[in-house]
Structure 1
Amino acid sequence: MTKERFIEIYDQANQPVRLYKSGDYARYIPSGDIEYLGRADDQVKLRGFRIELGEIEAAILDHPDIDATVVVMDKGSSGEKELAAYFCTSIVPTPEWIAQLRQALFARLPEFMVPVYFTPIDEIPLNISGKLDRRRLPAISRQQVGAHGYQPPRTRVELALIEAYQEVLGIKQVGITDNFFQIGGHSLLALRLATIIESKLGKPVEIVDIFRYSTPRELAETFTRDALNLDKETLLTISETGSDEAIFLVHPVFGLAYPYLALSNCMQSERIYGLNNPAFGHEQGRFASIEQQAENYVSEIQKVQPQGPYRLGGWSYGGIVAYEMAQILRAQGQEVERLVLIDSFFASSQNWQQPDNLALQSFMFKEGVDPKSAFGKAFSVELRHTPALLMNYQPSAYEGRVDYLQASRKRDHDNPLIFDNLSNDWQRLVKGEFYLYHIDATHDDLFKEDKIEQTANVLRQIFSRQDVFSETDTLMSEIE
């Protein structure tokens, strides 16, 4: 007891001084006074480390906007012990602000001492003795606090990694830029993550790579080109609930249907599939024409839905392929109930040249794609080959109904692969009903986070057969 409580230190004159270790936490403040921070009795053990919760609380209190805090140990949704912080502040703590707070703590504390969750409260609940009353603490807020806005997966590999992260961490949403160790992961969970990744992708991942490349986007880059071949699966499941008649959405020009994953949260009552290019990223085995591509995709969708009525659509280039698919299905005697073209165009009527490599690389950089990465190289293959199919495609007249979603805003930067305001070309081709909708977005932003709800709202009404028109006898309707 004596050795444990009475400790010896040396003063500035190098003379021994005996101090009593009271078990209280305090700190000197600029005025020279000592600020009492609370008791240190709540020492906990986490993943083999003994942690003084008061030390974490002291670090949090150093933030100028924090008025009071308490850190507790909790058993998280993954079944693992986790640190959680409650705090009082006079500001509105947004997820971005909490992410900045966590980053500041990472600069001061070891990774295992930084709380996973932060919950704002009005005041710290105390009992009549002035001590923390844990029973009165509210439920922990398990809100995702990644430092970046949510970014959905772009490839099958990234999707599998995100699913593995979610399974290991027990959280519902992980983006490709979320750091495993900043959203609840740690060294022991990394071992479990490696096992699950191998079971999902059929390829082992080195534990050291999980520490070195901690986001799904970075980790995906460590996989070989063979891993990217998983994208050769033509049908991508967006949502499995809903009616017997599915919605089939064809990929845009870069060959993958990942942008439609953003619809999974907005159209949960629908069964939705995306169509990937099975030759994604490969120079060989490519489609010779849009007609051939459409025939292949029709055979794929009929594997899951042999008979109509069919509901088809596609964004940009995907709308062209969907248009030709509808022609094929109607020629088979099948019913095409809905054909939705999302800011699509056909280039044969335009004075348009194949973009050069410099323009394509510039476009990829603006879209956040590194041309030198494995994904970027596959992406560039698509951008070199697919536009040529557009130049040789001559669409024929269509006798059915077409719904056209048009981006009403001019694009913010030059996209060498698109044109604006070409809906009149479709009106001349469509002999059946033609409905036009305006979406307050640029072409590039239609499926991005801040516009997806608006796009999904129009799609939901069209595909659910709701009357979205104020005048049903008109052939044009604008939703702005």
Structure 2
Amino acid sequence: MPDTVLPSSWVVEGGAADDPVRNAGALHGLFALTGRGSERVIHPINDSAVEAGNSGPAFYCVHSLSGAGGTDFCQLARLMPGVRFYGIQAPPKKMRDPAFGGSVEAIADYYAGALVKFQPQGRFLLGGWSAGAIIGLEIAQNLRSRGREVALFAAIDAAPENTAAGRRPWHPIYLLQLAANLPGWIRHENLIDKTVAVSLVRRARQKTMARVKAALGKRNTSANDQAVEGIIDLARFPAEQRSFMKRLYRALLEYHPKPYSGDVVAYEARVKPLLHLPQLGRVWRGIAPRSVIVPIDGTHASVMRKTHVPPLADDLRARIARIATLPVHDNTGSVCSLAEARERRRARALVGP
């Protein structure tokens, strides 16, 4: 297939590029819970997942491009007491295998096998953000082919690219929607802030250089690798992790999703990138007719951050509660209705910290 530049919504690691705290976490996120020789795939990422005797439903979160399975979901997991959050992580030892991550289907099969071994019985609740949404879709397909039930798949602000569901960039409606997105993008980016403005210029320069290199290297197998480097700072990661990320990037480009007949909730950020509309609603309805599209405030990166993640947590908590007959909690752990949880959150926002 022709070399292209992958949308940043598959690549950005939690907005780490402009957040020093998250930057530091991203450096060692993959190896934080295990050694470099570990083959472990599934890791607990909240207190409920390690509490002895906790019988709450388990929610499995698929890693994004870095392979780290827990860092992206920490804020969401903290707001959902009673749900056992587990991260699906690329095992550091497997990253040394040059074939691991070479195709979405193969890596999903590996993770599905680990899930079945970890949870021999019962329904699966599965989700992914960014590249994890694409890998997670294939894991869900694989689990269903093994005869296991996937009661819910939550795709957080990402979808496969190789579909015919979206409008072309020159379509009049696409152009109108792109223009309508501009005010929200400007408000969110806070262009008055000098630091933000400098960061935006740097990111634009990186993406432009990546596109130029990809265009000049159409017949060069490294073109897509250069595109990755234009979007995320690979120097922050160990060598074997960088190689894995490049393989997985190419695999995502080559992945063609099959129709999915299960239940999907697709969370779509209201603020889109400046020059690209992901059109997630149209894409997910094309892949999975039973998809429910839920708009959420923020951008691709910020929907997983502390400021924007509470509405996502409210909605996902209620959906899991309906599936697992789990009482709804607010973020203090108190049992309440979904409406009460939202009202308490609103009241706290008005009062302030």
* Deviation of 1:262 (Å): 2.5
Q: Please tell me the root mean square deviation across aligned C-alpha atoms, in Å.
A: 3.4
* Deviation of 1:269 (Å): 1.2
Residue in 1 that maps onto 2:235: 372
* Residue 277 (str. 1) matches residue 90 (str. 2): yes
Aligned counterpart for 1:348 among listed residues 162, 176, 189: 162
* Residue 288 (str. 1) matches residue 84 (str. 2): no
**Is the CA contact 1:247–1:311 (under 8 Å) kept in the aligned structure 2?**
yes
* Deviation of 1:356 (Å): 4.6
**Is the CA contact 2:162–2:257 (under 8 Å) kept in the aligned structure 1?**
no
* Deviation of 1:329 (Å): 2.1
Matches of residues 430-445 of structure 1 in structure 2 within 5 Å?
430-431=288-289, 433-445=290-302
**Is the CA contact 2:157–2:269 (under 8 Å) kept in the aligned structure 1?**
yes
* Deviation of 1:446 (Å): 2.2
* Deviation of 1:292 (Å): 1.5
Deviations 1:1-23 (A, max 9, x none): xxxxxxxxxxxxxxxxxxxxxxx
**Is the CA contact 1:245–1:309 (under 8 Å) kept in the aligned structure 2?**
no
Partner amino acid, structure 2, of 1:253: L
Partners of 2:82 and 2:89 lie apart in 1 by 22
SS in 2 for 1:372: helix
> Which protein is richer in helix relative to its size?
2
Residue in 2 that maps onto 1:334: 148
Distance 1:376 1:337, change over 3 A: same
By relative contact order (CA 8 Å, sep 6+), the higher-ranking structure is: 2
* Residue 452 (str. 1) matches residue 265 (str. 2): no
Any gaps of 5 or more consecutive residues in structure 1?
Answer: 1-147, 161-200, 202-226, 366-370, 471-480
Aligned counterpart for 1:401 among listed residues 263, 270, 286: 263
Any gaps of 5 or more consecutive residues in structure 2?
Answer: 1-18, 169-210, 215-221, 329-336, 340-353
Distance 1:149 1:376, change over 3 A: closer
Distance 1:362 1:331, change over 3 A: closer
- TM-score, normalising length: structure 1: 0.45
Partners of 1:378 and 1:429 lie apart in 2 by 33
Moved more, 310-319 or 242-251: 242-251
* Deviation of 1:376 (Å): 5.3
Residue in 1 that maps onto 2:126: 312
Residue in 1 that maps onto 2:60: 248
Deviations 1:318-369 (A, max 9, x none): 112221222222223222111111112212238997865554334334xxxx
Aligned counterpart for 1:425 among listed residues 260, 273, 283: 283
Aligned counterpart for 1:361 among listed residues 226, 229, 232: 229
* Deviation of 1:383 (Å): 3.3
SS in 2 for 1:391: helix
* Residue 263 (str. 1) matches residue 44 (str. 2): no
**Is the CA contact 2:143–2:150 (under 8 Å) kept in the aligned structure 1?**
yes
SS in 2 for 1:388: helix
Partners of 2:268 and 2:311 lie apart in 1 by 12
* Deviation of 1:153 (Å): 3.6
Larger Rg: 1
**Is the CA contact 1:281–1:377 (under 8 Å) kept in the aligned structure 2?**
no
Residue in 2 that maps onto 1:142: none
* Deviation of 1:157 (Å): 7.1
Partner amino acid, structure 2, of 1:372: A
Distance 1:411 1:245, change over 3 A: same
**Is the CA contact 2:79–2:310 (under 8 Å) kept in the aligned structure 1?**
yes
Deviations 1:398-441 (A, max 9, x none): 112111011111237x8xxx96223212202213x221111111
Distance 1:378 1:458, change over 3 A: farther
SS in 2 for 1:272: strand
Partner amino acid, structure 2, of 1:324: E
Distance 1:285 1:325, change over 3 A: same
**Is the CA contact 1:313–1:340 (under 8 Å) kept in the aligned structure 2?**
yes
Partners of 1:247 and 1:324 lie apart in 2 by 16
**Is the CA contact 1:411–1:444 (under 8 Å) kept in the aligned structure 2?**
no
Aligned counterpart for 1:463 among listed residues 288, 301, 320: 320
Partner amino acid, structure 1, of 2:235: K
Partner amino acid, structure 2, of 1:461: A
Partner amino acid, structure 1, of 2:278: D
**Is the CA contact 2:270–2:298 (under 8 Å) kept in the aligned structure 1?**
yes
